[in-house]
């Protein structure tokens, strides 16, 4: 028995210039934006016999276009969302528009300037995408080389701009975990500073609120654990300045364990040997640039941070 043909619809003049996702979400077709997003993400949608992905959700249809949905297309039942490993990278999620990576400590987010060939998340993603329709990643935000955790890249310029606009509006939720010396007082509150980037020294510095070069830096914090001479702190960023958590903690006398740049006080009060700043980007929440659904990701602490916590807990 011949299997039934996938449903298809010809775009009539009344639907001229309607978005593809809106066209398919009508009650007589797929019935919801969520179902449309899933079909696009899994390669089930074709326009004029050409596969359409999530990046095509906002495409404006023309009269005469033929839209087909192949719901039982072989190989389309599973998402490419992840997680899966690619070299040093753990890719937590990937679709037509974006990639979320759990970055290990010691790996750059983006390449160094002047043609330096040191590996980075960006260069590894270039290798991953080679031969795909989307041939290179687009930077949305980054974390420091020795900071571990979640970092987000786009796969198209349009998706990059939409995601960066969310960051400019301070909409994404970015939560970090840091082990700091001392005990922040009060145990929960807001860090609010005006910072300026020192291009010569490549560090953030505190500056006067009236400084025209100054940029506001805001973060909420709360102490999760208190140890003998350290505290495990959760920090939620409202702004995303370079090295923000590291400098804001230091300005309050709470150098991060392992910190080599933003240091407070004599070396004797920082007795723990750790090869990097103890900072991990643990949670990231934002809205998908195509259908605006909320995406939430969590990266567990890496092994070196887990071992560090075991060490400080034994010191209590």
CB 66 within 8 A of CB 116: no
Q: Does 85 map to a domain?
A: no
Q: Does 166 map to a domain?
A: no
Residue 5 has pLDDT above 60, yes or no: yes
Instruction: State how far the Cα of 168 lies from the Cα of 186, in Å rounded to an integer.
Output: 29
Provide the pLDDT confidence category of residue 79 given band limits of 50, 70 and 90: very low
Instruction: State how far the Cα of 211 lies from the Cα of 215, in Å rounded to an integer.
Output: 9
Instruction: State how far the Cα of 152 lies from the Cα of 53, in Å rounded to an integer.
Output: 19
Q: Does 146 map to a domain?
A: no
Neighbouring CB atoms inside 10 A of 272's CB total 15
Instruction: Provide the domain limits for residue 207.
Output: 175-281+306-315
Q: Does 88 map to a domain?
A: no
211 is catalytic: no
Tokens of 88: 């040093």
Q: Does 96 map to a domain?
A: no
Of the three residues 69, 101, 118, the one that is the final residue of a domain is: 69
Q: Considering only residues 56 and 240, tell me which one the structure prediction assigns the higher pLDDT.
A: 240
Q: Does 32 map to a domain?
A: yes
182 plus 310 within the same structural domain:
yes
The tokens 């702004």 sit on which residue? 239
Which CATH number characterizes residue 42's domain? 3.10.290.10
Of the three residues 69, 93, 110, the one that is the final residue of a domain is: 69
pLDDT of residue 78: 46
310 plus 182 within the same structural domain:
yes
CB 53 within 8 A of CB 41: yes
Q: What residues pair up with 294 in beta bridges, in sequence order?
A: 287
Question: Which listed residue (21, 65, 95, 144) is catalytic?
Answer: 144
Residue 93 has pLDDT above 60, yes or no: yes
Q: Long-range pairs for 257-265 at CB < 8 Å and ≥24 separation?
A: 257/179, 257/180, 257/181, 257/230, 257/308, 257/312, 258/146, 261/203, 262/203, 262/204, 264/181
Q: Does 187 map to a domain?
A: yes
Instruction: State how far the Cα of 188 lies from the Cα of 185, in Å rounded to an integer.
Output: 7
How high is the mean pLDDT of the chain? 89
Of the three residues 69, 92, 113, the one that is the final residue of a domain is: 69
Instruction: State how far the Cα of 66 lies from the Cα of 58, in Å rounded to an integer.
Output: 16
HSE-CB for 314 with a 13 A CA cutoff: 7
Cβ contacts of 156 within 8 Å, gap of 6 or more: 55, 96, 97, 134, 138
**Mapping DSSP to helix (H, G, I), strand (E, B) and coil, where does residue 236 land?**
strand
HSE-CB for 194 with a 13 A CA cutoff: 8
* Lowest model confidence (mean pLDDT) among 68-77, 174-183, 200-209, 246-255: 68-77
Longest CA–CA span in the chain (Å) reads: 81
Tell me the three-class secondary structure of 96-134, residue by residue. Answer: CCEEEEEECCCCECCCCCCCCCCCEHHHHHHHHHCCCCC
**Mapping DSSP to helix (H, G, I), strand (E, B) and coil, where does residue 158 land?**
helix
Residue 100 has pLDDT above 60, yes or no: yes
User: How many structural domains comprise the chain?
Assistant: 2
Instruction: State how far the Cα of 259 lies from the Cα of 230, in Å rounded to an integer.
Output: 13
Which CATH number characterizes residue 230's domain? 3.30.2350.10
Q: Does 112 map to a domain?
A: no
The percent of residues in the chain predicted with pLDDT above 70, rounded, is 93
**Mapping DSSP to helix (H, G, I), strand (E, B) and coil, where does residue 232 land?**
strand
Gap between the terminal Cα atoms of the chain:
73
Provide the pLDDT confidence category of residue 73 given band limits of 50, 70 and 90: low
193 plus 311 within the same structural domain:
yes
């Amino acid at each position: 028995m011949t299997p039934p043909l996938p449903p298809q619809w010809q775009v009539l003049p009344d639907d001229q210039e309607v978005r593809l996702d809106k066209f398919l979400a009508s009650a007589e077709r797929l019935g919801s934006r969520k179902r449309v997003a899933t079909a696009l993400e899994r390669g089930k949608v074709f326009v004029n016999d050409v596969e359409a992905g999530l990046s095509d959700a906002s495409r404006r249809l023309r009269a005469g276009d033929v839209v087909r949905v192949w719901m039982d297309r072989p190989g389309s039942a599973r998402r490419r969302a992840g997680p899966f490993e690619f070299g040093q990278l753990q890719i937590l999620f990937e679709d037509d528009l974006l990639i979320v990576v759990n970055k290990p400590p010691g790996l750059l987010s983006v390449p160094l300037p002047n043609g330096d060939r040191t590996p980075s998340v960006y260069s590894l993603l270039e290798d991953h995408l080679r031969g795909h329709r989307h041939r290179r990643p687009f930077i949305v935000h980054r974390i420091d080389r020795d900071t571990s955790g979640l970092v987000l890249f786009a796969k198209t310029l349009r998706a990059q701009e939409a995601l960066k606009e969310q960051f400019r509006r301070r909409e994404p939720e970015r939560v970090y975990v840091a082990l700091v010396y001392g005990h922040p007082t009060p145990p929960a509150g807001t860090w609010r500073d005006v910072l300026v980037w020192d291009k010569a020294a490549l560090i953030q510095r505190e500056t006067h609120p009236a400084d025209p070069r100054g940029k506001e830096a805001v973060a909420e914090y709360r102490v999760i654990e208190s140890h003998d001479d350290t505290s495990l702190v959760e920090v939620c960023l409202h702004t995303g300045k370079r090295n923000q958590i590291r400098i804001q903690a230091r300005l309050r006398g709470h150098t991060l364990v392992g910190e080599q740049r933003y240091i407070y006080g004599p070396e004797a009060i920082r007795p723990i040997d750790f090869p990097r700043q103890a900072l991990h980007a643990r949670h990231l929440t934002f809205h998908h640039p195509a259908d605006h659904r909320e995406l939430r990701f969590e990266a567990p602490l890496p092994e070196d941070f887990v071992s560090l916590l075991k060490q400080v807990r034994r010191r209590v």
